Amino acid sequence: MVKPLKKNNKIKRKGPVILAIMDGVGFGAYSEGDAVRDAKTAALTKLYEETSWTKLKAHGVAVGLPSDDDMGNSEVGHNAIGCGRVFAQGAKLVSQSIESGEMFKGKTWNNLVDNVKQHGTTLHFIGLLSDGNVHSHIDNLRKMIIKAKEMGVKEVRVHALLDGRDVGELSALEYFDPFEEFLDGLNDDSFHAIIASGGGRMAITMDRYNADWSMVERGWHTHVLGEGRMFSSAHEAIETLRKETGAIDQDLPPFVIAEDGRPVGQIVDDDSVILFNFRGDRALELTKAFEAEELTEFDRKRHVKVQYAGMMEYDGDLHVPKQYLVTPPAIDRTMAEFLCSSGVKQFSISETQKYGHVTYFFNGNKSGKFDENLETYVEIPSDIVPFEQRPWMKCAEITDEVIKVIKSGEYQFIKLNFPNGDMVGHTGNYQAVVCSMEGMDLQIARLKKVVEEAGGILLLTADHGNADDMFEHDKKGEVKRKEDGSPKAKTSHSLNPVPFIIYDPAYQGEYEKDLNTGLGISSIAATVFNLLGFDPPEDYDKSIINLK
């Protein structure tokens, strides 16, 4: 346990400090496609008019990603907010490990390669086939396949998930077609690689937080058992299923590639399997399906005995998976740990879709609590329906619980996540996103009233942008349009800054009203410490407020 924070007692409030993370809510760069701006958000508008606020960086190097061309995401965003500093994140660590060759010198990589060479079996790769760089990157996959061939692997099968969230909603063939050509160029008499199965990331395989294990079951049947509708190529599958279903990439049904009526890439005993996604939340359930001796969530039919590895260690506390290719960042000395050591009672809440973000990711990719007596976690079960059908999600239920907790006076620090801007933003449904913003705003108004009554402080911020940038734009800033003239939906995150608002109705002049500018979301932690009456650790990023 870390040492307690030093008290300065410069700020004392009767009520708690509440950190509300409006997931996926930024400041749009364009007037068209900014659902946050277009929504009627009376509470937020009034806060901007009457309180101190600033813009924070939530993408690129400010959150530990390789460059400022990289979108922020909820994982790295909550890491940065929760630990108060910037750590090199998964995308950067993986690319560095591959470029330097360190990955290929590691024990795990060599275990998997030696296994298939010894048994004359197949090396399988499962993951998201795009360059979104949030969960994976296609370039990493290419380089691993090239290296596998160089090291004498004879057969490779790729189980490729369509993205459509971190990249364009109908961009799959921009990745799949060149990738199939790349594989064809590698194939010769001693080596054969092919895409073996696929499906949309929100239809199969990539569930998280135990929200819908049927997704993982469908993925298992598709990738492992080779069961499902068969096609001669991924291109044929994607074109056919798009025409038949009208689905965007992330929702495309699963498919299996077959030759002569037989699947080309079933996973069998003594094969090696790499999940090449580096982000943990949507990797844990598939990992469990491969590693668990007993699985109660669904019937695997065959529990294959394979050498399995993840791109990274997805849970540092549980040490999952057992084998991984790249060591994740060692995020330590987090906000929650310091507050526990300082005797501050904390309450964390969201619905299922973001519950792990205010717990696991916020605590530096660690499961469990630092102190059972000082921390309370509450998960509101998410609806298992397409998010555009319930765009308000569970923001009212989350607020109900937070209001009870504020009124109880039991907790000094409360954090919550409203998932609306991100989860509904990824659907590409503009009307639904506007509705989601307005639903969230109603809850902010409720929180504001109770915070004032309790004599507390409400902080409103976000982990990255999304709802603020819902249309595709060209280099001139013009909206890209479909053949019918309607805007092309953008389902990925944005590169835009996010808000940081301080609503402090009991303000007594203890800090400057003008907030510091040019900072990243990692500065939120030091700010929370200041507002709770503590000095932040010296190595934490600069506070957003200047104490007098």
Dig out the tokens for 228 from the structure: 């499902």
Q: Give DSSP secondary structure letters for 209-269.
A: TTS-HHHHHHHIIIIIS--S-EES-HHHHHHHHHHHH---GGGPPPEEEEETTEES----T
Whether 339 shows a pLDDT value over 90: the answer reads yes
pLDDT band at 336 (very low <50, low <70, confident <90, very high): very high
pLDDT band at 319 (very low <50, low <70, confident <90, very high): confident
**270 neighbors 128 (Cβ within 8 angstroms):** no
pLDDT value, residue 317? 58
pLDDT value, residue 121? 98
Tell me which of 3.40.720.10, 3.30.70.1350, 3.40.50.2300, 3.20.20.70 is the CATH number of domain 6-88+330-535: 3.40.720.10
Domain spans in the chain, listed from the N-terminal domain onward: 6-88+330-535, 91-326
Q: Where are the beta strands (DSSP E) in 419-522?
A: 457-461, 498-503
Match 């109908």 to its residue by tokens. Answer: 170
For the segment 436-462, what is each residue's pLDDT rounded down to a tens digit? 999 999 999 999 999 999 999 999 999
**482 neighbors 156 (Cβ within 8 angstroms):** no
Whether 316 shows a pLDDT value over 70: the answer reads no
Q: Give DSSP secondary structure letters for 269-329.
A: TT-EEEE----STTTHHHHHHHH-SS--SS--SS----EEEEEE-SBTTTTBSSSEEEPPP
Q: Give DSSP secondary structure letters for 151-213.
A: TT--EEEEEEEE--SSS-TT-HHHHHHHHHHHHHHH-BTTBEEEEEEEEETTTSS---TTS-H
Using a pLDDT cut of 70, give the percent of the chain over it: 100
For the segment 38-56, what is each residue's pLDDT rounded down to a tens digit? 999 999 999 999 999 999 9
For the segment 22-32, what is each residue's pLDDT rounded down to a tens digit? 999 999 999 89
How far apart CA 495 and CA 65 sit, in angstroms, is: 12
Whether 72 shows a pLDDT value over 80: the answer reads yes
Whether 475 shows a pLDDT value over 90: the answer reads no
The SS3 call for residue 138 is helix
Characterize the bridge pairing of strands 17-22 and 255-259: unpaired
Q: Between vectors from CA 224 to CA 151 and to CA 492, what angle results, nearest 5°?
A: 85
pLDDT value, residue 227? 98
Whether 328 shows a pLDDT value over 80: the answer reads no
pLDDT value, residue 418? 98
What average pLDDT does the segment 219-230 reach? 98
**342 neighbors 4 (Cβ within 8 angstroms):** yes
Look at 78-92, 225-239, 306-320 and tell me which has the smallest mean pLDDT: 306-320
Supply the angle between the helices 524-531 and 74-83 in degrees, to the nearest 10. 40
Query: What does pLDDT average to over the chain?
Result: 95
| Cβ neighbours for 438, distance < 8 A, ≥ 6 positions apart | 39, 40, 41
The SS3 call for residue 450 is helix
More confident position, 90 or 82: 82
pLDDT band at 82 (very low <50, low <70, confident <90, very high): very high
Dig out the tokens for 345 from the structure: 């009672």
Burial (CB count within 10 angstroms: exposed 0-12, middle 13-18, buried 19+), residue 424: buried
Match 């470029």 to its residue by tokens. Answer: 99
For the segment 191-206, what is each residue's pLDDT rounded down to a tens digit? 999 999 999 999 999 9
Whether 313 shows a pLDDT value over 80: the answer reads yes
Whether 208 shows a pLDDT value over 90: the answer reads no
pLDDT value, residue 118? 98
Burial (CB count within 10 angstroms: exposed 0-12, middle 13-18, buried 19+), residue 401: middle
**485 neighbors 53 (Cβ within 8 angstroms):** no
For the segment 97-121, what is each residue's pLDDT rounded down to a tens digit? 999 999 999 999 999 999 999 999 9
For the segment 154-198, what is each residue's pLDDT rounded down to a tens digit? 999 999 999 999 999 999 999 999 999 999 999 999 999 999 999
Burial (CB count within 10 angstroms: exposed 0-12, middle 13-18, buried 19+), residue 107: exposed
- CA dihedral over 262, 137, 278, 214, signed as positive or negative: negative
For the segment 380-425, what is each residue's pLDDT rounded down to a tens digit? 999 999 999 999 999 999 999 999 999 999 999 999 999 999 999 9
Task: Check residue 58 and report its DSSP letter.
Answer: -
Does the global pTM surpass 0.85? no
Dig out the tokens for 475 from the structure: 């280099």
What average pLDDT does the segment 517-525 reach? 98
pLDDT band at 265 (very low <50, low <70, confident <90, very high): very high
> Could you tell me the CATH superfamily of domain 91-326?
BPG-independent phosphoglycerate mutase, domain B (3.40.1450.10)
Residue 49 amino acid letter: E
Q: What Rg value do the Cα atoms of the chain yield, rounded?
A: 24
Residue 85 amino acid letter: R
Residue 436 amino acid letter: S
- CA dihedral over 468, 474, 478, 480, signed as positive or negative: negative
How far apart CA 277 and CA 353 sit, in angstroms, is: 19
More confident position, 480 or 65: 480
What average pLDDT does the segment 12-21 reach? 97
Q: Mind telling me the catalytic residues?
A: 74
Element of type H or E holding 53: strand 52-56
